[in-house]
Amino acid sequence: MIARAPCVPLVREISNALGKAGCVEYKGRDGGTARARNGAASEENPFTMDVKSFSNERRRCSWCLVHPLYVAYHDEEWGVPAHDERRLFEMLILEGAQAGLSWLTILKRREGYARAYDQWDVERVARYGRSDVARLLSDPGIIRNRAKIEASIANAGCFLETREEFGSFDRYIWRFTNYATLRPARPPTTLEEIPATSPESHTMSRDLRRRGFRFVGPTICYAYMQACGLVDDHMEGCFRCRELSRGASGLKAM
């Protein structure tokens, strides 16, 4: 089973094209292709092209699309240990919102989510009522799915209860990896080598569900672990694989 690294269903179709010298070709879900040469974007390409991001100077994981939001997320956040409570809450909600969608869809709405959710103030979100649900359902800057919106508000309350019990959500969530980033003995060389779940993500999912959290299945939990650096699945040859293994985070202050 292939990992749910961001947008993996699409990445499977295009990964064999990444890294070609002077030319990057993409096959979309509709079977059409988009091609860019020497950094020129094709009008057919659904993504913003930035071929320089994939020069030999910096090799990246093969799932990393050339959209600048994707590149920035890969370079600055994915696999980086996160301990800030606001960020841990943000990623919990965004990973749940991604269910059934691509990660790029969520990244494009990230600023909209921050505005809609009071800059991820968990205390405020936990107090949202019917009028807030209606507001969120009419907000084009987020995914307007009632089940996901109602779950996000319920999860805010569960987040606060868990934080109260453990002193911080950070202390609670990192205990599933014994307070350390998990790395494979050998960095993965193909997408097939990156798991979609792990024993730890199954344990996390069961415990979160027991506490009342929603949209926290084992696959979502594993993606959350990757996003918050509980797991580092950067691939062999990726410059971030080398940096993170040496302890260089590169995460910007949020």
Examine the pLDDT at 245 and tell me if it is beyond 90. no
Q: Which of 73, 78, 222, 224 is catalytic?
A: 73
Reference 102, options 222, 227, 7, 5; nearest CA is 7
Q: Give the C-alpha separation, 55 to 83, whole Å.
A: 32
Known active-site residue 128: no
Residue 195 identity (one-letter amino acid)? P
| Domain boundary assignment for the chain | 8-76, 85-245
**Tens-digit pLDDT profile for residues 44-78:** 333 333 323 444 468 999 988 889 999 999 999 99
Per-residue pLDDT band for 2 (boundaries 50, 70, 90) equals: very low
So what's the pLDDT on residue 35? 32
Distances (CA, A) of 216 to 80, 234, 254: 20, 23, 24
So what's the pLDDT on residue 247? 66
Instruction: Give mean pLDDT, residues 144-165.
Output: 98
Q: Which of 103, 128, 172, 222 is catalytic?
A: 103
Known active-site residue 172: no
Element (H, E) at 34: strand 33-37
Q: Does 1.10.340.30 match the CATH number of domain 85-245?
A: yes
Structure letter (DSSP) for residue 110: H
**Tens-digit pLDDT profile for residues 180-210:** 999 999 999 999 999 999 999 999 999 999 9
Q: Which of 95, 117, 200, 224 is catalytic?
A: 95
Q: Give the C-alpha separation, 110 to 141, whole Å.
A: 8
Task: Kindly tell me the burial class for residue 130, based on how many C-beta atoms sit within 10 Å of its own C-beta (0-12, 13-18, 19 or more).
Answer: exposed
Instruction: Give mean pLDDT, residues 207-219.
Output: 98
Known active-site residue 26: no
